[in-house]
Structure 1
């Protein structure tokens, strides 16, 4: 063996790379043991072995040297060992002056761990996408707080039109959540990063309406700001203009608003230059605009402009399925706001679920805040509810809940029995015309009824 061969052999054996060199027939001339450890092969001297024989034995699947000898060009492949390892193998042919292959040099790198990490990463990425989808769905459910089919349908409609500029007209009683839905529509649309300007048309004095809506130039009138003022419509540029209680809009302003909607431009008071404006309009009212049109109180052409996507929001009393969700939402929200941990007792829930809610969602939100702030106990009982809610006659189920409350609040048997007696006597008085009827209703004697009525005379 020549000095050159000895040096080459030493380089290969001490190299950190897994190197093997074969001749033109695939016979191994030089190799290092590390090369074969990546293939899970038994430690032995592979010099003189044929790579074709090793391929037949399944040790090299396939042999990259065999491929290079056949194709006569550099090659890179991924190999799989019998124990499941993944090997990235690269080989290069060496040619003599006649263009014939005289040697093939191959390198092997164990990619198993990298491949596993990549697979794990891809799995985590798929899981993350799944979690993100679930989070979005949960966030959507959390934001809507709806169980009723009507509100679910409204929510879907608003989602469908959120990324358009179509005008939405929301109708419904005061407090049903028109403002909340308008804001949600804005945050779901492509204008979400732009201003959301809310205007309550019923709160702006008629003599100030035009200056508030369109703004004015400096010196327009006595008392005007030195530098003029930007109007609400101009503030909504590129964003959303929400006109609440639009049924209160004066007729003169209705005409000017219609012109803005048609031409997308306006002029400040005292100005001589028209300004271009771009906004998405959302309007809301608790009035019957069609009836107002017939009476001449609302312009028909403006009504048609507004009524592109009509959304009628039913009152809370007609969607009782939403009440418990809204209660839980606002209790949680207000507890976090004031760093408290108040809860409603089940009997309190029962009373609230049967209440008519004339003020709708706004009344419910305000009541939850009042209960959480004024209740001294962590558990909120029906006694903390306003008299207007408690004045409703209790049902049998509510009576049982009240009795349960008596027992929890007072462990004195005599006191509890007296409270139950008063409750039953009060109920009998409402249903019966005489003490004889009361006795029959309660299953006791008429003298017992008289005696008990005298006993509780002051408290029934």
Structure 2
């Protein structure tokens, strides 16, 4: 066997064994050799390709595009992505072969089937889409969970507070909630308990301002049998004892009498209590959360609150802002409570936009509690389906406080003005008021209950600089 036969056998073995498809052409693009796996990749057996020119094969869509044709034109290595008749994606790389005189005598191309890789990528993209969908579903469930807990918000500030609440919930750190009455401090305290390892145990809520001072000690610490006249004959566990392994929430802790503050401090430090009339202390394992609408540090300065107790309680202070400072949450809460009480009372009430605007203007001294009570009252007492602003208890007061929003009345007749002129003046006042309160025409549109394009048109009409 001569050397030429050996080289022929070696070349055939390479073509047969190669995972990649190999096509060899001459210097004019005529196919000289091709791997047997042409059928699976290009849909044609090798014999159908041999003798054909790559230009012809490209026109038939077999090589699309032809990497060999590109090499013949550019006289350098070329790499392209091909799409074959069999629906496969192929990465084709072709190399020119030159003789000693620089003439291109061969073009050798290697085609690697990337169909499986493309399928993996598509599967990955589909999986990622499903993950994003599931994440959105999980977030929706979390939002529903927040609503079930009585917590719903939209503002970034409240979102940050909620994130902090969830972080501290997994610890046993003492938390003090600060803020005005009615902002929902007790709701957040309950949320911490529900998200902690103590959630299966008791959550004992104590309003420090609601229990008379003479009864406070017996209610908090309990008493043994026969401790005093008129007491339960069997004795009674106190609220601190009932919170064992759970959470003790002291609402309005600033109302706690000074004498009891020292006893509470001792219990927090030692985690032991002794019932009134008893002699044996009991170990108590509880987490304490407190809230107040007062400035505890100012009370410390005035001698109304113990400094050592202040530092013991002020481990993680969380301030809940009043409702009037978070308009985004106010709007969301309005609709949340409306939906809640519509469902409770089997009604289908809706707010008129002017009603929503009036509620956004109101200062809400009673905060979320006042809003919840008001929406329930409106749902119960409003006769028609639509809740108009005159149903609001503060509407008359608000109208009196904002005379610039009202027409000039009889003065227009005296000045000879028409109804249209009067309406335009009222419209101007509303637009100016919205321009003062909001930064964008979109916010103004939501406030006024009209489209954003209408706001832009009217501002231009009246020459109001927003």
Q: Which TM-score applies when normalising by structure 2? A: 0.58
Paired residue for 1:325?
A: 332
**Counterpart secondary structure, 2:409:** helix
| Residues in 2 aligned to 1:191 and 1:128: alpha-carbon distance in whole angstroms | 32
After the TM superposition, which residues 285-434 of structure 1 pair with which residues of structure 2 at under 5 Å, given as runs?
Answer: 285-386=292-393, 388-393=394-399, 424-425=408-409
Q: CA deviation at 1:141?
A: 6.0
Contact kept in structure 2, 1:195 and 1:239, CA below 8 Å:
yes
| Residues in 2 aligned to 1:185 and 1:282: alpha-carbon distance in whole angstroms | 9
Paired residue for 2:141?
A: 136
| Residues in 2 aligned to 1:148 and 1:131: alpha-carbon distance in whole angstroms | 19
Paired residue for 2:264?
A: 257
Q: 1:124 to 1:271 in 2, by over 3 A?
A: farther
Q: CA deviation at 1:148?
A: 2.4
What do the CA deviations read for 1:246-274 (whole angstroms, capped 9, x no partner)? Answer: 11100111001100110011111111111
| Residues in 2 aligned to 1:233 and 1:218: alpha-carbon distance in whole angstroms | 18
What do the CA deviations read for 1:413-436 (whole angstroms, capped 9, x no partner)? Answer: xxxxxxxxxx5417x5xxxxxxxx
Paired residue for 1:274?
A: 281
What do the CA deviations read for 1:301-323 (whole angstroms, capped 9, x no partner)? Answer: 00001100011111111112211
Contact kept in structure 2, 1:243 and 1:284, CA below 8 Å:
yes
Find the partner of 2:417 among 422, 443, 446. Answer: 443
**Counterpart secondary structure, 2:226:** coil
Contact kept in structure 2, 1:355 and 1:389, CA below 8 Å:
no
Paired residue for 1:95?
A: none
Q: 1:357 to 1:123 in 2, by over 3 A?
A: closer
Q: CA deviation at 1:397?
A: 11
Contact kept in structure 2, 1:212 and 1:232, CA below 8 Å:
yes
| Residues in 1 aligned to 2:306 and 2:249: alpha-carbon distance in whole angstroms | 19
Q: 1:425 to 1:123 in 2, by over 3 A?
A: closer
Which region of structure 1 is more displaced relative to structure 2, 144-153 or 388-397? 388-397
Q: CA deviation at 1:444?
A: 6.2
Structure 2: unaligned runs, 5 residues or longer = 1-38, 41-85, 87-126, 420-466
Find the partner of 1:193 among 193, 200, 222. Answer: 200
After the TM superposition, which residues 9-408 of structure 1 pair with which residues of structure 2 at under 5 Å, given as runs?
Answer: 129-130=134-135, 132-139=137-144, 142=147, 144-386=151-393, 388-393=394-399
| Residues in 1 aligned to 2:385 and 2:208: alpha-carbon distance in whole angstroms | 41
| Residues in 2 aligned to 1:246 and 1:223: alpha-carbon distance in whole angstroms | 28
Q: CA deviation at 1:275?
A: 0.8
Contact kept in structure 2, 1:164 and 1:189, CA below 8 Å:
yes
Q: CA deviation at 1:396?
A: 9.9
**Counterpart secondary structure, 2:399:** coil
Q: CA deviation at 1:329?
A: 1.1
Contact kept in structure 1, 2:151 and 2:187, CA below 8 Å:
no
| Residues in 1 aligned to 2:140 and 2:168: alpha-carbon distance in whole angstroms | 22
Q: 1:208 to 1:438 in 2, by over 3 A?
A: farther
| Residues in 1 aligned to 2:245 and 2:404: alpha-carbon distance in whole angstroms | 54
| Residues in 1 aligned to 2:371 and 2:199: alpha-carbon distance in whole angstroms | 28
Contact kept in structure 1, 2:189 and 2:289, CA below 8 Å:
yes
| Residues in 2 aligned to 1:233 and 1:183: alpha-carbon distance in whole angstroms | 16
| Residues in 1 aligned to 2:342 and 2:302: alpha-carbon distance in whole angstroms | 47
| Residues in 2 aligned to 1:346 and 1:179: alpha-carbon distance in whole angstroms | 31
Q: CA deviation at 1:132?
A: 4.9
**Counterpart secondary structure, 1:242:** strand
Q: 1:127 to 1:231 in 2, by over 3 A?
A: same
